[in-house]
Structure 1
């Protein structure tokens, strides 16, 4: 079912008993040493020679993997069995200790298909003209133009908002150069989009998907309610020998509410 990235660690996502809800397994070693072991159906850990004993814990986290209807459930079954294997501390040791099991997430869950509404579903951004002197060398940039994406979220439910920007002319693009759309006549130049919250940072494009953990998905807000506004910039970047003409690019944005 894909992967979910959290703090730089990719976790495999497994299906649960409720359509649209998956889960990950997280495993940490604590006391006295601390190590985070990526989760999965098989988890291995080798203590260091200084570790005479240690404690560990297993945690599951529910992940939205698709459309969820409005349902009430008391138990969500976690269908994947896991096995933990601890290997001897020294090369001469061959002993291992294993444990495993399956689980359920018990409680009274009210699952609601809640989303925000996009204030402007389509934006046309007029870029200022650019001259060769504005882009004197390869990778030089010029004429950043600001724009905002606005949402209105329910006031009764707070949520985390994620966004993926997709290169419409090249949906497989996962870099930070927006392809020129058909009809553009200039060459040697591309466009870049930057998130403009504090220090502007380049946006990498990703697949057109709202699945949690989608590649290059951006966390825009946590605990969001009411009106939300997300500032961005679009700018020129020189990528080759310049020839004059028109420059047009088209990107789509996909929201994910988690």
Structure 2
């Protein structure tokens, strides 16, 4: 009887550990991953391109497993998705989001990482050791970057399920969570405009010598002013025709109140006429151009305005044009 009982106990022991998943291996069966910490502070430019990665943090873990059945690996994220950015989740700081990644398949060094959320079906297999298993989080730009301290952050969970993973003594089906430590300070770098509205007066000109389309006359300087708190920010600008938002030419059309015809205005950056674009601060906006890098304190953007002859009969009268400028700090 004693021998028989020992045999039964031995069989029970073998059954308890026949199918299991132990992740992270250095911890217990149901423990979570160590939290990921981003750097203490970031000072990105306000209008960095959407999708820019401020920091990537990858943690190496190990996994052991033995499964005689197909196993489903489900990766979920507890957070609010960012619209139009797959796999990206909001934080409490405007313009800052998080993406999560994990090792694909069972594990192992050559396996690529896949972005959460996702689900995989894994074939029956046994680790035969402790393969590498990575978890990763990226801090990414989702829009104009604001200011604040990261306190509300998404989290990720990995869970395995399968008919052979049903032993209560080794609860391999419990979820394993990956959390982010709060406290990172975000300071969106920007400049303030010191000349939000400008009036430019051009001297009157005569119609003599102004018959050829494309010919130019007269000029007046205009300076846009900025005050920047940080050096090295890429300062970009886009000009928009306020009377015709679809204008993409280098000629500013006549605004209401004009009595002249056959004439328009040009705005020059140096000697080059500036093309007009949409009223947007998004990086890469059409006809947006780089002014240069900021310096700490006051900064001036010198421009020139002049008349240009356009098609059609030339009618004498007043010439009025209105343009807006949109700054983008990248």
TM range (shorter): 0.5 to 0.7
TM-aligned CA distance change 1:62 to 1:237, over 3 Å: farther
| 8 Å CA contact retained: 1:159, 1:225 | no
| 8 Å CA contact retained: 2:96, 2:139 | no
Q: Residue 66 of structure 1 corresponds to which residue in structure 2?
A: 144
| 8 Å CA contact retained: 2:215, 2:308 | yes
Asked whether 1:153 is paired with 2:228, we answer yes
SS in 2 for 1:163: strand
SS in 2 for 1:70: strand
Query: Which aligned pairs between 1:117-196 and structure 2 lie closer than 5 A?
Result: 117-155=192-230, 158-196=232-270
Q: Residue 318 of structure 2 corresponds to which residue in structure 1?
A: 246
TM-score by length of 2: 0.48
TM-aligned CA distance change 1:63 to 1:165, over 3 Å: farther
In structure 2, how many angstroms separate the alpha carbons of the residues matched to 1:228 and 1:208? 22
> Any idea what the Cα deviations from partners look like across 1:94-140, whole Å, max 9, x if unmatched?
xxxxxxxxxxxxxx964213321212211110101111114131110
In the TM superposition, residue 68 of structure 1 has moved relative to its aligned partner by 2.6
In structure 2, how many angstroms separate the alpha carbons of the residues matched to 1:64 and 1:256? 15
In structure 2, how many angstroms separate the alpha carbons of the residues matched to 1:22 and 1:175? 37
In structure 2, how many angstroms separate the alpha carbons of the residues matched to 1:169 and 1:125? 17
Q: Residue 96 of structure 1 corresponds to which residue in structure 2?
A: none
In the TM superposition, residue 144 of structure 1 has moved relative to its aligned partner by 1.9
Q: Residue 219 of structure 1 corresponds to which residue in structure 2?
A: 290
In structure 2, how many angstroms separate the alpha carbons of the residues matched to 1:208 and 1:243? 31
Greater Rg by CA: 2
SS in 2 for 1:229: strand
TM-aligned CA distance change 1:211 to 1:251, over 3 Å: same
Q: Which has the higher strand share?
A: 1
Query: Which aligned pairs between 1:11-26 and structure 2 lie closer than 5 A?
Result: 14=85, 16-18=88-90, 20-21=95-96
TM-aligned CA distance change 1:64 to 1:119, over 3 Å: farther
In the TM superposition, residue 226 of structure 1 has moved relative to its aligned partner by 1.5
CA RMSD of aligned residues (A): 3.2
SS in 2 for 1:133: coil
- Matched length: 179
Structure 2, unpaired ranges of 5+: 1-48, 50-83, 99-137, 156-182
